[in-house]
Structure 1
Amino acid sequence: MKSDQWAPHVTVAAVVEQEGRFLVIEEHTSAGLRINQPAGHLEAGETLVDAVVRETLEETAHRFVPEALVGVYMTHFERPGVGVTYVRFTFCGKAREEAPGRTLDDGIVRAMWLTADELRACMARHRTPLVMKCVDDYLAGRRVPLDFIHTHSVAPVVRA
């Protein structure tokens, strides 16, 4: 693989709504303290669903049960000397019990439950514009069944 080959970063995010409030995190970023959905990068060997379940647990200590895909979003950021593209798969679902005694990922200050209006009131603190876009799409009823996503498994190569 060439070192100058373009490759997008694949991320996942969870929209979790409970009694009119959304589960979000407050995290340290290079731009300061920001608000985001539980989100993170797809890791090697994971399915998208596995990744969003893992990231939600790591960042909020809540077990997440995905129910549908809200949308797929692409964002491009220009950083000094390089552009970075993210493709984000956002899922919605239910939060189960909080895992007792579980510490949150490095950089995560806390998990919070905010209403859509509270999220709109602090948009300047959102990590990306996708935070509100995903909530708005969820509130608009956008849902794609999970079986829309297919993960093709390739058998490992056995070497003699």
Structure 2
Amino acid sequence: MTVNPKGPETRWKPNVTVAACIEREGRFLLVHEHTQQGLRYNQPAGHLEPGETLLEAVCREVREETAWQVEPQALLGIYLTHGAATQYLRFCFVCRPLEDLGTPLDDGIVAADWFSYEQILALRPLHRTPALLAGIEDFRRGQRHPLELLHDLAAT
């Protein structure tokens, strides 16, 4: 059993994030972004905001970080990653790119571009999280879960 370092009266909770695995013609859409560790590559991703569904959150994050409008098609996987001071529960979705809206990118995003699998492997030392490559590899293996697995009970 793990002991909560903040004491038994404080319940620990992971940060819930969403990410998008977006593939087009054999290339994947990634963002190049400023982080506390310097410039890093990641899938379009971010935190679930209050009142959002997971699907709304992933569409918003992709739009803000890449200017692309997407359609979630499947749940790729759920990944638990361990940061320096917290853990992240990441819901990664397979999304179909619909349209480049040409809108400005979020603060901290240097660029959004399409990369081959080989390029992504070469950039591995600059990945923001191991969940980036785990998701790409799950995608390439054909892993997909129906969106019907998700239930937003607040919306009912």
Check whether TM > 0.5.
Answer: yes
TM-score, reference length from structure 1: 0.89
The residue number in structure 1 matching 2:45 is 39
RMSD of aligned alpha carbons: 1.5
The residue number in structure 1 matching 2:11 is 5
The residue number in structure 2 matching 1:91 is 93
- Residue identity in the other structure for 2:71: V
1:27 partner SS: strand
Q: Deviations over 1:60-116 (max 9, x none)?
A: 0000100000000001223xxxx301000000021111113x111110001010001
- Residue identity in the other structure for 2:55: V
1:7 partner SS: coil
- Residue identity in the other structure for 1:106: D
> How many residues align structurally?
149
Detail structure 1 runs of 4+ shifted over 2 Å in the superposition: 2-5
The residue number in structure 2 matching 1:67 is 73
The residue number in structure 1 matching 2:124 is 123
2:50 partner SS: coil
Counterpart-to-counterpart distance in 1, 2:98 and 2:41: 21
Deviation at 1:4, TM superposition (A): 3.9
1:117 partner SS: helix
In the alignment, does 2:147 pair up with 1:141? no
1:132 partner SS: helix
- Residue identity in the other structure for 1:115: S
- Residue identity in the other structure for 2:104: T
Counterpart-to-counterpart distance in 2, 1:103 and 1:93: 20
2:107 partner SS: coil
Q: Deviations over 1:99-149 (max 9, x none)?
A: 13x111110001010001100011000001111110000100110011111
1:95 partner SS: strand
User: Which structure 2 residue ranges, 5 or more long, are not aligned?
Assistant: 1-6
In the alignment, does 2:140 pair up with 1:151? no
Deviation at 1:47, TM superposition (A): 0.4
Deviation at 1:154, TM superposition (A): 6.3
The residue number in structure 1 matching 2:30 is 24
User: Which structure 1 residue ranges, 5 or more long, are not aligned?
Assistant: 156-160
Counterpart-to-counterpart distance in 1, 2:117 and 2:55: 24
